[in-house]
Amino acid sequence: MLGGLRLPPIDVPIANYRATTCGLFGLTARFSPEVLGELYPTHDAYVAQMQAAADDAVARGVLLPADAAELMTMAEASGIGG
């Protein structure tokens, strides 16, 4: 089921996110290095997917440009991919 605001970390996941019965809490289970490597064969591939998702979210009006820039700073500094 899809719904709500789709932000870049949800569209370009690095973990499995599960909600609980209470909307304030949830569980995050980070993907294994093997799964991350399959999803994002290189760091540049991960950053490119995050950039596309951030650009889309800004265009849809669900993310401010400053927040997109902050997400991209974190994505670029991460070790995700490869």
pLDDT in tens, 20-62: 766 677 888 999 999 999 999 999 999 999 999 999 999 999 9
pLDDT at 1 over 70: no
Would you kindly state where each structural domain of the chain is located, as residue ranges? 8-77
| Helix residue spans in 19-81 (DSSP H) | 33-39, 43-60, 65-77
CB atoms within 10 A of CB 8: 23
Statement: the pTM of the whole predicted model exceeds 0.75: yes
